Amino acid sequence: MNVIIPTQESQMGHIIEKVRHGQRLTLEDGVFLYQSEDLLTIGQLANEVALRKNGKKVYFIENMSLYFTNVCEAHCAFCNFRRDEGAPGAYTLSGEQMIEYVEQHIHPGVREFHIVGGHNTNVPFQYYVDSLKALKEKYPDVTLKAYTAAEIDFFSRISGLSYKEVLEELMKAGLQSLTGGGAEILSDHYRKKMRVDKADVSQYLDVHRTAHQLGLRTHTTMLYGSIETKEDRIKHLMQIRELQDETNGFLVFIPLSMQPINPKAGIRRRNSAFEDLKTIAISRLMLDNFQHIKAYFINIGVQLTQVALTMGASDAHGTIVKEKISHAAGALTPEGITREDLIWLIKGAGRIPVERDTFYNEIKIYE
């Protein structure tokens, strides 16, 4: 009996066969892909999956990022956005103040407010409810995609309400979807090491599970590029894949490339373009039950985003207007982008730009 020792080529060939026949990739498959240097094969395979799911369509939205407060009880090692109450730069806006900010910066066509912020213990849960209510009353036609799962867990702690009760209160105020942040890496070891003193792995997943049970479609992320192993990343993807099997409530997965705290940090302190593209492609291959993988230009830049559209990404995010969290952490990218530039970027990758709403309903196709 001949014993055949698997080679890199035979293992990659096996993965290609599995993907093309719709078979689910394993932890071992995902780790192998991360260890492989064959980015072009991985990217080409991810591109096949993206084309199979969405054709040549790449989605974007006219949206605007809002941050009611940067005061936060958590001290996550990677965050440069948070402030202590009373510290220089700390702020907490009322609904009226936020509306004033929006009126100064909003542009015609904005369909979504993307709202996140700090875990501010100096205001009650009702403050967060009223914040949404004020926006919904002023801008009834704009979708409120608000708060992370970690924020929902925080609201539960300060209010004494269950996740379900917190979400129901926010939905009455106008909440229509949850943002994906707060996931970081879904590993308790990682969270302890990186001082992620907010919702743990099971709590993050349970908030999204509860939201899906209430009929909310939500977003989910992975913040990669610090102390986690490649196996940690694949296990993260498998945990959200498992929840998606259960609820089918996630709209999109967003890989977030870690930013250094200092904007002047050199390239050795940043993820490489190779690593960013590989992560997007592997995400597309592992998350067979997700319709979309997003290329987030805020973290990887607009030109790499364009390349990512040929390596598994089918969403180029949105106009944003003025992003603050990644830029506080040292991002060198634009704080926002115009609709025209997004259309140009998508067409330049040989794709068809599709303007969407929060829920991926198509608004306009730019042939």
pLDDT tens sequence across 89-118: 999 999 999 999 999 988 888 999 999 998
pLDDT band of 78, cuts 50, 70, 90:
confident
With both helix axes pointing from N to C terminus, report the angle between 230-247 and 27-35 in degrees, rounded to the nearest 10. Answer: 140
Name the band, by pLDDT with cuts 50, 70 and 90, for residue 328. low
What is the spatial order of strands in the sheet that 63-66 belongs to? 63-66, 112-115, 143-146, 175-177
The CA-atom distances, in angstroms, between 157 and each of 87, 121, 132, 188 are 24, 10, 19, 20
Amino acid at 295: A
Helix axes 27-35, 273-286, angle to 10 degrees: 160
Q: Which residues are part of a known binding site for [4Fe-4S] cluster?
A: 72, 76, 79
CA 157 to CA 201: how far, in whole Å? 16
Q: CA triplet 158, 210, 139: central angle to 5 degrees?
A: 75
- Binning pLDDT at 50, 70 and 90, where does residue 1 land? very low
| pLDDT above 90 coverage of the chain, percent | 76
CB 320 within 8 A of CB 339: no
Which residues sit in the known binding site for S-adenosyl-L-methionine? 78, 184, 195
Of 185, 169, 105, 171, the residue nearest 143 (C-alpha): 171
Q: What are the distances in angstroms from CA 181 to CA 55, 185, 234?
A: 28, 11, 18
Residue 329 has pLDDT above 50, yes or no: no
Name, in order, each residue with C-beta under 8 angstroms of 118's C-beta and a sequence gap of 6 or more. Answer: 69, 70, 71, 72, 73, 74, 81, 82, 83
Architecture of domain 27-365: Alpha-Beta Barrel (3.20)
Q: Which range, of 151-165, 232-246, 248-262, averages the lowest pLDDT?
A: 248-262
Q: Give 10-53 pLDDT, tens digit per residue.
A: 899 999 999 999 999 999 999 999 999 999 999 999 999 999 99
Residue 214: name the closest of 179, 170, 271 by CA. 170
What is the structure's pLDDT at 351? 97
Specify the DSSP element, H or E, that contains 356: strand 352-356
Q: Is pLDDT of 339 > 90?
A: no
**Predicted local confidence at residue 268, as pLDDT:** 61
In order, the DSSP letters of 284-329 are HHH-TT-SEEB--HHHH-HHHHHHHTTTT--EEEE--SS--HHHHT
Task: Please give the Cα distance from 309 to 54 (Å, whole number).
Answer: 12
Who contacts 91 (Cβ-Cβ below 8 Å, separation ≥6)?
A: 69, 70, 71, 83
Query: Stretch 171-181: mean pLDDT, rounded?
Result: 97
Residue 263 has pLDDT above 70, yes or no: no
pLDDT, averaged across the chain: 91
Give the least confident one: 7-16, 122-131, 180-189, 345-354.
Answer: 7-16
The sign one gets for the Cα dihedral 168, 213, 191, 234 is: negative
Cα atoms found within 13 Å of the Cα of residue 156, Cβ hemisphere only: 20
The residue to which tokens 């980015």 are assigned: 39
Instruction: State yes or no: pLDDT of 2 exceeds 80.
Output: no
Annotated binding site: 72, 76, 78-79, 184, 195
Name 88's Cβ contacts closer than 8 Å, sequence gap at least 6: none
